[in-house]
Amino acid sequence: MVKLGIDLMGGDQAPSAVMEGLERVWHHLKPETSISLYGTIEALALVPYSPRIEKIVCSDYIAMDEHPVKALQQKKDSTLVRAFADAAGQKISAVASAGHSGAIMVASMQILGLIDGISRPVVLSVFPKIDDKPLVVLDVGINVDCKAEQFLEFARIGSTYAEKVLGIPHPKVSLLNSGTEKSKGSLLYQKAHSLLAEYAAIHFEGNLEPRDLFDNEIDVLVCDGFTGNIVLKEVEAFFSLSQKLGLEHSFLEQLNYENHGGSPILGVKGNVILAHGASGPEAIKNMILSAESIALANFVSQLSSI
Name the residues that contact its own copies, by CB under 8 A.
Answer: 130, 141, 144-145, 176, 178, 185-187, 189, 209-215, 224, 226-227, 229-231, 233-238, 240-242, 244-247, 249, 251-252
Q: What letter does residue 49 receive in the DSSP assignment? A: P
The CA-CA-CA angle for residues 271, 137, 278, to 5°, reads: 65
Residue 140 Cβ, how far from its own copies at the closest point, in Å? Answer: 10
Give the angle 259-262-268 at the CA atoms, nearest 5°.
Answer: 160
Smallest gap from residue 84 Cβ to its own copies (A)? 24
* Coil vs helix vs strand at 62: coil
For its own copies, give the closer residue by CB, 73 or 180: 180
We find the least distance from the C-beta atom of residue 151 to its own copies, in angstroms, to be 15
Q: Which is nearer to its own copies, 94 or 176 (CB)?
A: 176
Give the SS3 label for residue 174: strand
Report the nearest approach of its own copies to the CB of residue 137 (Å).
12
Cβ 240 to its own copies, closest distance in Å? 7
Question: How many residues does the structure list for the chain?
Answer: 306
| Amino acid present at 134 | P
Q: Residue 269 or 276: which CB sits closer to its own copies?
A: 276
CA 205, CA 119: separation in Å to the nearest integer? 24
CB 273 within 8 A of CB 287: yes
Contact 19, 39 (CB under 8 A): no
27 vs 244, beta carbon nearer its own copies: 244
Residue nearer to its own copies on the CB measure, 77 or 253 = 253
Taking the C-alpha atoms of residue 7 and residue 88, their distance in angstroms, rounded to an integer, is 15
Q: Apex CA 102: angle with CA 299 and CA 289, to 5°?
A: 40
Nearest distance, CB of residue 116 and its own copies, angstroms: 27
Residue 133 or 170: which CB sits closer to its own copies? 133
Query: In the Cβ-directed half-sphere of 186, how many Cα atoms lie within 13 Å?
Result: 9
Judge whether 14 and 44 are in contact, CB under 8 Å. no
